[in-house]
Amino acid sequence: MLYDAMSKRFSCKSCGLFLTRDQLSELRFKLKNNPDNDMRQKQRQQADYLDWWLKDKKDKK
């Protein structure tokens, strides 16, 4: 996420999300305390690792 000093907000380059510092803090708290999020995060990490593992050696760098 990038911080825009003029608007005093954070923005995400990939999805376009635009949040104040308080909103970002609240969102992180909700995601951290969500029990379903742990399972999704582990599945995403495993999928990312599998994608990395299946790439050619040239692409891994």
Does pTM surpass 0.95? no
Q: 13-54, pLDDT tens digit by residue?
A: 888 889 999 999 998 888 777 767 677 778 888 999 888 888
Burial 10-44 (b: 16+ CB within 10 A, else e): beeeeeeeeeeeeebeeeeeeeeeeeeeeeeeeee
CA neighbours closer than 13 Å in the CB half-sphere of residue 12: 7
DSSP 1: -
